[in-house]
Structure 1
């Protein structure tokens, strides 16, 4: 009998054995400081929690073809580290890194992870970050095959 799924909130740095049903919310390729590319992504579980996940550059060719946004997978056994990078894509205190024992298998039978979840912040959380008012929205290019559309926002401030 298969064991139950864990959730992202259950991750700890001391525990590397896990089994989490996740959806890939977003993914992108990053050129590491070592000069080699790796895949980074945001993954979400059925409870709506999100965490950043990072692959190792040694398996870049495998992961870049295998990982597809919006697909559902089961993640087994990953390394958990503090999410202490300068740019945080999630509010999670941790990030997960794929290791040599990590398995990531596609599973279309899992249907309880919604494809879109919004995580709105309260006005109080963002009021100190407001730098201006939206003045204009410009779409300089349309989406080509496999590329995301680019939109420019023009802000105006009190000056």
Structure 2
């Protein structure tokens, strides 16, 4: 029997025991104001129109820095879910995920998740500057 999987579009702040099958489509390291490094990434699932921002803070960074690779696919679960607020949003999803001490990540071959996702914008939205 296949295990239950959640999708990015299902994420809300009511369930933090999500089990996501995802591809990391963008991964980078950032130095914070207090000189600590953290990781930011964008992940997507097999429905490649939905993406979400993920943050790995200093405490959990040592655990995951050498493990996570851009373009690889993983099963991930147990996150802290927070509102996606701020002046610059990396994704349009209303929430973002934060790795915590009980986050589990297992690399798996998931060929049904496309390698790249493109977000095309209608010309009318570009002209109206509503994108």
Deviation at 1:128, TM superposition (A): 4.3
Task: Tell me the alpha carbon deviations over residues 58-109 of structure 1, each in whole angstroms, 9 at most, x when there is no partner.
Answer: 122332211100000011111111111222121111110011111111112x
* 1:3 match: secondary structure: coil
RMSD: 1.7
TM alignment of 1:72-83, pairs within 5 A? 72-83=73-84
Specify the SS of the correspondent of 1:98. strand
The C-alpha deviation readout for 1:1-39, integer Å capped at 9, x for no partner, is 552110001111121011000000001001123321110
Q: Which runs of 5+ in 2 are unaligned?
A: none
Greater radius of gyration (CA): 1
Query: Where does 1:19-58 land on structure 2 (aligned, <5 Å)?
Result: 19-48=19-48, 49-58=50-59
Q: Output the CA distance in 1 between the equivalents of 2:87 and 2:53.
A: 13
- C-alpha contact (below 8 Å) 2:60/2:100 kept by paired residues: no
Whose relative contact order is higher, 1 or 2, with alpha carbons under 8 Å and at least 6 apart?
2
For normalisation by structure 2, the TM-score amounts to 0.90
The TM-score with structure 1 as length reference comes to: 0.75
**Following TM superposition, where does structure 1 have runs of at least 4 consecutive aligned residues deviating by more than 4 angstroms?**
none
